[in-house]
Amino acid sequence: MKPKRSFASDNNAGVHPRVMEAVAGANDGGHVIAYGDDPYTARAEAAFREHFGEGAEVFFVFGGTGANVLGLQSLTAPHHAVVCAATAHVNVDECGAPEKFTGCKLIALQTADGKLRPAQIEPCLARAGDQHHVQPKVISISQPTELGTVYTVEETRALSAFARERGLLVHMDGARLANAAAYLGATLRELTAEAGVDVLSFGGTKNGMMYGEAVVFFDPQRARDFKFIRKQGTHLPSKMRFISAQFAALLAGGLWLSNAAHANHMARLLAAELARVPQLNLTQKVESNAVFARLPPEHIAAIQKEYFFYVWNEETSEVRLMASFDTTEEDIGELVRVIRQAVG
Amino acid sequence: MKPKRSFASDNNAGVHPRVMEAVAGANDGGHVIAYGDDPYTARAEAAFREHFGEGAEVFFVFGGTGANVLGLQSLTAPHHAVVCAATAHVNVDECGAPEKFTGCKLIALQTADGKLRPAQIEPCLARAGDQHHVQPKVISISQPTELGTVYTVEETRALSAFARERGLLVHMDGARLANAAAYLGATLRELTAEAGVDVLSFGGTKNGMMYGEAVVFFDPQRARDFKFIRKQGTHLPSKMRFISAQFAALLAGGLWLSNAAHANHMARLLAAELARVPQLNLTQKVESNAVFARLPPEHIAAIQKEYFFYVWNEETSEVRLMASFDTTEEDIGELVRVIRQAVG
Amino acid sequence: MKPKRSFASDNNAGVHPRVMEAVAGANDGGHVIAYGDDPYTARAEAAFREHFGEGAEVFFVFGGTGANVLGLQSLTAPHHAVVCAATAHVNVDECGAPEKFTGCKLIALQTADGKLRPAQIEPCLARAGDQHHVQPKVISISQPTELGTVYTVEETRALSAFARERGLLVHMDGARLANAAAYLGATLRELTAEAGVDVLSFGGTKNGMMYGEAVVFFDPQRARDFKFIRKQGTHLPSKMRFISAQFAALLAGGLWLSNAAHANHMARLLAAELARVPQLNLTQKVESNAVFARLPPEHIAAIQKEYFFYVWNEETSEVRLMASFDTTEEDIGELVRVIRQAVG
Amino acid sequence: MKPKRSFASDNNAGVHPRVMEAVAGANDGGHVIAYGDDPYTARAEAAFREHFGEGAEVFFVFGGTGANVLGLQSLTAPHHAVVCAATAHVNVDECGAPEKFTGCKLIALQTADGKLRPAQIEPCLARAGDQHHVQPKVISISQPTELGTVYTVEETRALSAFARERGLLVHMDGARLANAAAYLGATLRELTAEAGVDVLSFGGTKNGMMYGEAVVFFDPQRARDFKFIRKQGTHLPSKMRFISAQFAALLAGGLWLSNAAHANHMARLLAAELARVPQLNLTQKVESNAVFARLPPEHIAAIQKEYFFYVWNEETSEVRLMASFDTTEEDIGELVRVIRQAVG
């Protein structure tokens, strides 16, 4: 029996066939110089510049936590603070890597929807210039957020404008940025460079790649030392071409967008189905590939036995269901059937 | 024209076909749980236990520098020191990652052949217990060394015995451990667990894998917190199965050994050929897949144009030539021809 | 005109005359061995053992932030978290030193009175053992708290019992521990060793010393490496005797207690006077030498001009007034007069 | 019996009477604002500007290791390297604090006399720009060196010029800078600002102070964030005035110079006496307050029993004898008598 496609995480999915082909293809090239000085990497970098603007400087790393913490490290000194949502991956899901790598404090703000707004950040700046206190330097946002919501381009711009005004910088955790782009119908450049983002983690793994993420700088000056930060940060892949080839496959023919759009579509479909189950409450807007819902706690275990997923918040009995690039309508039908059966 | 196979680095090679098949095969499994709780990882871990002993605990990470620094971090506090050869990868080729991650000082000892011996380490312990000085805690050895030489099992044991006696621990950078095993005709267990190694970085990438290294603990107590160290160290791969499947392919049918033995054989062949060129001097014993030779400096650029390789030491005009799992006798013939032509 | 005694901070006070005499006396000893191997330090350590128990191991350091962060470092690995009150000095007033030194995340909990309770900490442990999340390891409490409140011995014991049960350790920031002891009428040992504290920062500077704090361990095993942590932490004073002599003077004849009791008494007196000013609200119980009160915001600047003090919370117009070992009833009368005049 | 004045270390001496008076005097001022916003600190800063130039920015810290590591931290990112002499205090006597605080590697060069020269540093820069290797950024020199030798102004300038040319910065550990100034007859400004030093640790403790060192920046731009680095580095003294008053006393009436000149003179006297003992060899030029000599190893213990001092190098039986601001000719006579008696 073919294993079921899970709704636990887009990390549970495998690799998109076209990405897998690209990986295999990169192996046909025989020997190439290691550490990125190879034609596959040159092509992938060119693809990034096409999507993010000519001034974009891109650095490939192994994974998303590495991309986030090294990006943050490039923007901060240890006495700085990083302002983020309490739900941010950098705050809760990286086992303290940001603190360990940067030495900075994270100032984690409670939000209803995972999104930061300038008015919330303003009070954190009250002690600017006072030597006793950490100095906020970076606003780190996740796009989409860990709650599946998406910042509009205007919202991102408002944060960036606030940041500029107050001497702060903007970091974007775009582990699923493609899903935000698909939702908003905006280009990657509009969502990042043109919206005032300074450093971006651009994710590939959750969108059909095997491994590999990118750190993208929109001001070449900020990228100057990043090659050293990446290497010292243990994220300089020796056989770089195999990450580069994946990114090239993703970005070249629109695969990044169609994968994300499909996952978003499946999430909306799932949400629509769940909305019709009276025992369930959707708790967040479905703007990307995540569906958050409150389930009767007594039924969760039974459903998880058939379809493993994560309980997001034990106290509120809220669960997270993620669609992937390879989720099918049949999968959704089957999950909804299991849920309906469980909740009776 | 097919690109030439380089002698610059075993990192310039691609992926062995059987490893590539394993990667593709791991994609057929549909969705599996991320972060290592999957059947591919279970199988790979079992293969490690077969080779390294039932007590071995293995953790997969993305790359070799990560494996080294996280392994060292698991053995040290910041006031400790790590004793290593001056030529050690951890000392010269990791952009200071060991210092950044562990806070420790590296005490780098000059050696003729890349190998440490107890008598050399002894004087470093003169200030043991004195609060003004860093406290040596770990002996880190590379097996094979960065100069291509190999510690005999007895030499490793002597270091471990010395370490035990003096309250130190032994870390082994085994990025090319398979090559040492092939040279010595010893099992992986004999070279590590049974020789008194505490923590091992076991390399896959240089031996035909695409990416992925392993940190292996021989005392489960020392491994207790490593899952947190790995995650905070940004080296917990989400789609872990693709590393696991590669390691399983490498370890299962002896591929790890045949790849390494072939590379070693090619290096010996190359050395034998070079020994007959009067303008060249071999400078290290050829015990793994590396050949070190002094070349007339005026001819280096010409040869590099045809066959890129690294000058190891500009002052002595010493170069490093590396054979790979896919090096052919024809490649060697061609390189030697180019060299002979250049040096006249 | 003699400068006024401030209510801004007990750090604004000078040095108690008997402490100053001790400093001068330590200079009469000619040359003594540096770094603590001197008779003054031996005497001071003996005084600590008298007050804190025979098993107490004490290390002198220059200042309070150093004492806190090095004490925390001795209890943690970087993937751990330190649970503290949001108001804790380690959280807000040390410019991120705890994060920089330990690599740990601080989990800062909102409290009404600066005091942590087990029920609040419980939910922080929900992700114990999960590699994605920092692992709470230390409960850090301030005694008295930064809001001037005091944990009863029972409250401290309850926290310690909870900590033991859950595999956590207890750190106490006792920058003003003498004030808590004076308030509770308890011995230093009852408040610390016997209440289950693992590591204590014991403050001298705010209680009449010139400089110097102590890190006290109640389990000698935990103190084993602390001499290295202190030195690497840049807190090994070379002319140690001058700190030791101060501590000896403070601890020997009960000066530590009388200084603190006086400051507490002055704070209570001030609070009683302020309670009679209708425009003011006391906002915290006065259990040590701090008085917190809400002042009409429009009058704050006028009062500060005569008597500088810190606005604790701009939003709530809450100010902090601190009594010192040398505060007099006359000082209080004068401050109250100025306040009454300002608020009309 | 009055304890003997030791030749073990200038840290074994007490406090100069005029410094002690200044400390007592600072206590007469009643309450002053903590953390440096007080008139004593303003006066001390003015004294520094007089000696070091109007552009000098000075920050007081508790101790010398703190001054060194925070100064270095202000000049570096973790992927940088600090080039220093193998004998440097930052390299051997700070328990790895520089690595822990900065994350940097120290590149420690062997020297005959503790002094670095450009030609020695040049080869360390061979890998500039190569991401695999730490990037030298700072040359850290000790003036005088730990071997008691002194850089001439020209030698310091040559290093600074080399540094400028190669994009490096110059840090000076001036724990005993006064002794170098006394030896050279040069002003503090000539030795530092005008010789191209970027950041200086200026020592007080070894020259008659109780505690307190200064970090001095000669380019205000580099000092911009140092108040945060100092506070996060745990070196912001709360009762700052007591350090400031000491420095003011030292710098105001030439005490810094007379103390140092006296110690230098005593060292020269001692050296002259020792030169006449046939069993001894002076091993370094006596250019400050240190005398290095080879003693017959079999007699060392006997002499140490009377006069404790440190064996600098067990292998060569070399000892270090330090004169202090309060060493007398009588002390020297007595030590020489003991030595002559021991060596027969």
Which tens digits make up the pLDDT trace of D112-164? 999 999 999 999 999 999 999 999 999 999 999 999 999 999 999 999 999 99
* HSE-CB of A79 using CA atoms within 13 angstroms: 26
For chain B, what is the HEC assignment? CCCCCCCCCCCCCCCCHHHHHHHHHHHHHCCCCCCCCCHHHHHHHHHHHHHHCCCCEEEEECCHHHHHHHHHHHHCCCCEEEEEECCCHHHHCCCCHHHHHHCCEEEEECCCCCCCCHHHHHHHHCCCCCCCCCEEEEEEEECCCCCCCCCCHHHHHHHHHHHHHCCCEEEEEECCHHHHHHHHCCCHHHHCHHHCCCEEEEECHHHCCCCCEEEEECCHHHHCCHHHHHHHCCCCCCCCHHHHHHHHHHHHCCHHHHHHHHHHHHHHHHHHHHHCCCCCEECCCCCCCEEEEECCHHHHHHHHHHCCCEEEECCCCEEEEECCCCCCHHHHHHHHHHHHHHHC
**Contacts with B135 from chain C: Cβ below 8 Å:** 228
Within-domain flag for C227: yes
In DSSP terms, which residues pair with D292 in a beta bridge? D320
Which tens digits make up the pLDDT trace of A7-63? 989 999 999 999 999 999 999 989 999 999 999 999 999 999 999 999 999 999 999
Look over chain B and give the mean of its residue pLDDT values, rounded to a whole number. 96
Same domain, B174 and B97: yes
* HSE-CB of B51 using CA atoms within 13 angstroms: 27
Which tens digits make up the pLDDT trace of C182-212? 999 999 999 999 999 999 999 999 999 999 9
What domain range is C339 assigned to?
Answer: 255-343
- Boundary of a domain, candidates B206, B234, B254: B254
Same domain, A103 and A69: yes
Same domain, D89 and D157: yes
Question: What single letter denotes the amino acid at residue C214?
Answer: A
CB-nearest to C4 from D31, D235, D238 is: D31
Q: Which residues, in sequence order, are CB contacts of D77 under 8 Å at separation 6+?
A: A225, A228, A229, D103, D137
> Min CA distance, B14 vs chain A (Å)?
5
Contact D46, D285 (CB under 8 A): no
Same domain, B212 and B268: no
What are the φ/ψ torsions at residue C321 (nearest 5 degrees)?
-120, 125
Residue C157 has pLDDT above 80, yes or no: yes
Is the dihedral angle over the CA atoms A32, A33, A39, A45 positive or is it negative?
Answer: positive
- Boundary of a domain, candidates C254, C275, C300: C254
Same domain, C216 and C331: no
Within-domain flag for B12: no
Same domain, A235 and A271: no
Within-domain flag for B151: yes
Q: In chain B, which residue's Cα lies nearest the Cα of C135?
A: B228
Within-domain flag for A318: yes
Contact C277, C248 (CB under 8 A): no
Which residue is listed with tokens 């403070």? C250
**Contacts with C79 from chain B: Cβ below 8 Å:** 225, 228-229, 231-232
Residue A25: enclosing H or E segment and its boundaries? Answer: helix A17-26
How big is the C-D interface in CB pairs under 8 Å? 174
- Indicate yes or no: CB of D29 within 8 angstroms of CB of C13: no
**Contacts with D103 from chain A: Cβ below 8 Å:** 232
Same domain, C157 and C183: yes
Q: Quote the number of domains for chain C.
A: 2
- Per cent of chain D over pLDDT 90 is 94
Residue D3 has pLDDT above 60, yes or no: no
What is the C-alpha to C-alpha distance for residues C327 and C331, in angstroms, rounded to an integer?
Answer: 6
Which tens digits make up the pLDDT trace of B238-252? 999 999 999 999 998
Going across the sheet that includes A169-174, the strands are A57-61, A213-217, A199-203, A169-174, A135-142, A80-85, A105-109
pLDDT of residue A85: 98
Which tens digits make up the pLDDT trace of A312-328? 998 899 999 999 999 99
Q: What is the dihedral of CA A121, A122, A123, A124, to 10 degrees?
A: 50
Peptide bond into A144 cis (omega under 30): yes
Which tens digits make up the pLDDT trace of D303-312? 998 888 889 9
- Indicate yes or no: CB of B79 within 8 angstroms of CB of D96: yes
Residues A23-57 as b or e (16 or more Cβ within 10 Å = b): bbebbeeebbbbbbebebbebbbebbeebbbeebb
Same domain, A272 and A135: no
> Min CA distance, C231 vs chain B (Å)?
6
Least Cα distance to D166 among D196, D191, D138, D130 occurs for D138
Residues C51-84 as b or e (16 or more Cβ within 10 Å = b): bbbeebbbbbbbbbbbbbbbbbbbbbbbbbbbbb
Within-domain flag for D9: no
What's the pLDDT band for C5 if we cut at 50, 70, 90?
Answer: confident
Same domain, A199 and A291: no
CB-nearest to A131 from D78, D134, D236 is: D236
pLDDT of residue D2: 45
What is the C-alpha to C-alpha distance for residues D184 and D178, in angstroms, rounded to an integer?
Answer: 10
- Indicate yes or no: CB of C35 within 8 angstroms of CB of B131: yes
The CATH number covering residue A147 comes to 3.40.640.10
Which tens digits make up the pLDDT trace of A213-251? 999 999 999 999 999 999 999 999 999 999 999 999 999
Contact A83, A138 (CB under 8 A): yes
Contact D270, D332 (CB under 8 A): yes
Going across the sheet that includes D318-322, the strands are D281-282, D290-294, D318-322, D310-313
Question: What single letter denotes the amino acid at residue A210?
Answer: M
Q: In chain A, which residue's Cα lies nearest the Cα of C313?
A: A126
- Boundary of a domain, candidates C254, C275, C307: C254
Within-domain flag for A3: no
Least Cα distance to B303 among B326, B267, B269, B336 occurs for B336
**Contacting subunits of B (3+ beta carbon pairs below 8 A):** A, C, D
pLDDT of residue C2: 45
Helix (H) and strand (E) counts in chain A: 15, 11
What's the pLDDT band for C72 if we cut at 50, 70, 90?
Answer: very high
Structural tokens at position A104: 């900075």
Same domain, A127 and A36: yes
> Min CA distance, A234 vs chain B (Å)?
5
What's the pLDDT band for C6 if we cut at 50, 70, 90?
Answer: confident
Same domain, C134 and C47: yes
β pairing state of C169-174 and C135-142: parallel
Peptide bond into B144 cis (omega under 30): yes
What are the φ/ψ torsions at residue C298 (nearest 5 degrees)?
-70, -15
Within-domain flag for B7: no
The CATH number covering residue C331 comes to 3.90.1150.10
ipTM of the complex: 0.97
pTM tops 0.95: yes
- Per cent of chain B over pLDDT 90 is 94
**Contacts with A77 from chain D: Cβ below 8 Å:** 225, 228-229
- Indicate yes or no: CB of B229 within 8 angstroms of CB of C132: no
> Min CA distance, B228 vs chain C (Å)?
5
Alpha carbon A197 to chain centroid, angstroms: 14
Q: What is the dihedral of CA D154, D157, D162, D168, to 10 degrees?
A: 150
Question: What single letter denotes the amino acid at residue B163?
Answer: A
Structural tokens at position D340: 């002559």
Residue B1 has pLDDT above 60, yes or no: no
pLDDT of residue B6: 85
Residue A1 has pLDDT above 70, yes or no: no
DSSP assigned state of D289: S
Cβ count within 10 A of residue B256? 29
Same domain, D127 and D261: no
- Indicate yes or no: CB of C62 within 8 angstroms of CB of D62: yes
Within-domain flag for C286: yes
Segment A52-57 long-range contacts (CB within 8 Å, at least 24 positions apart)? A52/A188, A52/A189, A52/A192, A52/A193, A52/A200, A52/A216, A52/A218, A53/A189, A53/A193, A53/A194, A53/A218, A55/A193, A55/A218, A55/A219, A55/A220, A56/A193, A56/A216, A56/A217, A56/A218, A57/A216, A57/A217, A57/A220, A57/A223, A57/A226
Q: Which residues, in sequence order, are CB contacts of B274 under 8 Å at separation 6+?
A: B280, B282, B291, B293, B336, B339
Structural tokens at position C151: 């944990």
- Per cent of chain A over pLDDT 70 is 99
pLDDT of residue C1: 38
